[in-house]
């Protein structure tokens, strides 16, 4: 019976050690980024939305959001208060919430992006971690 008590002590200590180790490790934020077309406006303009979803347990601070078109050269367009409307990012996104940045396709077209080619949305957190959306074609 002494070996059973010894085995239980080892297993219990290992389980406690595992929990302490997991709790002490810094967790990577659980963030999802998406880009979509929400409507078409006048003069053949598209109204688009970039959404940053915080699926984690802690608030995140989004420092920058934008759109990237891969190609030659790679083009980035940062979305700021000057070229978006109804935006809540950049800013803090609470747990189980989402931040959005609305923009018109003219913002991308003026930067030289081809709306018929795939674009990626991105978000940069205050921890300097980058999160990307799946490639999306805004004009189909």
Percent of all residues in the chain with a pLDDT value above 70, rounded to a whole number: 92
Enclosing H/E stretch for 16? helix 2-24
Residue reference for tokens 């991105």: 122
Average pLDDT of the chain is 86
Domain contains 17: no
pTM reported for the whole predicted model: 0.78
Domain contains 14: no
pLDDT in tens, 97-133: 999 998 888 888 888 888 888 899 999 999 999 999 9
Domain contains 12: no
Q: What's residue 27's pLDDT?
A: 75
Range of the domain at 53: 31-132
Domain contains 21: no
Domain contains 85: yes
- Sheet of 97-104: strands edge to edge? 31-40, 46-54, 97-104
CATH number for the domain spanning 94: value is 2.60.40
Q: Is 99 left (phi over 0), alpha (psi -120 to 50) or beta?
A: beta
pLDDT in tens, 19-69: 888 777 767 899 999 998 887 666 667 788 999 999 998 999 999 999 998
125-130-134-137 Cα dihedral, nearest 10 degrees: 80
């Amino acid at each position: 019976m002494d070996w059973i008590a010894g085995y239980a002590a080892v297993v219990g200590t290992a389980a406690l050690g595992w929990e302490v180790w997991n709790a002490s490790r810094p967790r990577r934020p659980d963030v999802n980024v998406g880009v979509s077309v929400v409507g078409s406006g006048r003069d053949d303009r598209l109204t688009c939305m970039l959404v940053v979803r915080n699926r984690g347990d802690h608030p995140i601070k989004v420092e920058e959001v934008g759109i990237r078109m891969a190609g030659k050269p790679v083009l980035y367009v940062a979305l700021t208060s000057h070229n978006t409307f109804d935006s809540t990012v950049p800013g803090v996104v609470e747990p189980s919430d989402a931040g959005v940045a609305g923009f018109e396709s003219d913002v991308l077209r003026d930067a030289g992006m081809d709306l018929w080619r795939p674009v990626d949305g991105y978000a940069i957190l205050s921890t300097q971690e980058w999160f990307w959306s799946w490639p999306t074609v805004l004009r189909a």
